[in-house]
């Protein structure tokens, strides 16, 4: 009996010590990841939304244009750095960091598609204050479509850069997804898993293999900025990742595509996988959608070939 108690006590001490070491390692990673302060912000650049403070950049004069980055833990308004100045010559441009991303607050909640639908609508109503054209990237295209469907009077033209396929958006949370979500949200060990997944080498691999057609365009600044974005908030971004992995950010947009009368433009990187499937499914729902391809680009043409993207945007908005 005494031997069992001794083993349990020893195991408890070892577990506590291991947890303490992992906690220190996690804290060190988050601290060093943000030392360069590439994602600078000021106190004046925040919208005090009901679920947390939202960072945004405002630039230029003219008709309002909202830029919405893709939904990943690596993403931020940095995604639009190469196009925002040119767009600001003819528009009042707003580029925000979505809740859970970049410089915005990262609450410990379950992030859902509808949460971001409300954020986009509320941002237009409370910050921009007038009908707005929107350029949305990647997964954020789905939030933009649903927000426009719900409150059409807030939206002008919609431009979707590499939107997700309709089949991807229809995936619902499964038992396995819920288990992954639970593990990632564990205070110490879930944070360790998050840090392993979002290490610099994995981010470099993501950019060179999935996001960019030309891997040599993945500069040190681009990698470091994505790395910093994923580590601001000392681990709270894992709640966004757990929601994405759990499929809680999915929602069908088929009904919105069929009902929306707004001008919709879809821009694809020519090397983006499933672009043909996405094009066919979107056109089936709404034949009035205009399509453009940008050659020699993949998921982030706004960083890889901003000149061609600007040419298309100049035509469309």
Where would I find the beta strands (DSSP E) of 69-165? Answer: 91-96, 132-137, 155-161
The mean per-residue pLDDT over the stretch 268-295 comes to 94
Is 35 among the domain residues?
A: no
**The pLDDT of residue 269 is above 50:** yes
Is 222 among the domain residues?
A: yes
Is 247 among the domain residues?
A: yes
Is 171 among the domain residues?
A: yes
Is 3 among the domain residues?
A: no
Number of domains in the chain: 1
Is 126 among the domain residues?
A: yes
Domain carrying residue 244: 43-314
Is 96 among the domain residues?
A: yes
pLDDT at 11: 46
Give the pLDDT confidence of 186-230 residue by residue, as tens digits. Answer: 988 889 899 999 999 999 999 999 999 999 999 999 999 999 999
Is 105 among the domain residues?
A: yes
In this predicted structure, which of 26-30, 37-41, 58-62, 120-124 has the lowest mean pLDDT? Answer: 26-30
Q: Buried b / exposed e across 177-208, counting CB within 10 Å, b at 16+?
A: beebbeebbeeeebbbbbbeebeeeebbebbe
pLDDT at 36: 80
CATH of the domain at 88: 3.40.50.1820
């Amino acid at each position: 009996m005494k031997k069992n108690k001794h083993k349990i006590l020893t195991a408890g001490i070892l577990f506590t010590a291991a947890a303490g070491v992992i906690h220190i390692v996690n804290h060190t990673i988050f601290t060093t990841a943000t030392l360069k302060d590439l994602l600078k912000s000021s106190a004046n650049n925040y919208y005090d939304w009901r679920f947390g403070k939202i960072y945004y950049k405002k630039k230029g004069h003219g008709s309002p244009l909202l830029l919405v980055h893709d939904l990943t833990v690596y993403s931020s308004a940095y995604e639009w750095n190469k196009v925002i100045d040119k767009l600001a010559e003819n528009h009042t441009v707003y580029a925000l960091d979505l809740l859970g991303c970049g410089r915005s607050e990262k609450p410990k909640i379950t992030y859902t598609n509808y949460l971001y639908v409300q954020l986009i609508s509320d941002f237009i109503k409370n910050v921009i204050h007038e009908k707005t054209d929107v350029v949305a990237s990647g997964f954020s295209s789905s939030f933009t479509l649903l927000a426009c469907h719900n409150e059409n009077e807030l939206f002008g033209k919609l431009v979707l850069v590499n939107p997700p396929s309709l089949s991807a958006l229809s995936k619902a949370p499964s038992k396995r997804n819920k288990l992954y979500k639970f593990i990632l949200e564990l205070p110490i060990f879930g944070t360790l898993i998050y840090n392993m997944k979002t290490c610099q080498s994995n981010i470099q691999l993501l950019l060179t293999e999935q996001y960019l057609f030309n891997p040599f365009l993945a500069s040190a600044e681009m990698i470091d900025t994505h790395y910093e974005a994923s580590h601001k908030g000392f681990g709270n971004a894992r709640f966004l990742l757990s929601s994405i992995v759990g499929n809680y950010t999915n929602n069908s947009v088929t009904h919105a595509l069929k009902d929306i009368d707004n001008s919709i433009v879809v821009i694809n990187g020519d090397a983006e996988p499933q672009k043909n499937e996405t094009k066919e499914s979107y056109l089936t729902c709404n034949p009035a959608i205009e399509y453009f391809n940008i050659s020699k680009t993949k998921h982030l043409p706004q960083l890889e070939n901003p000149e061609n993207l600007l040419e298309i945007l100049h035509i469309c908005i």
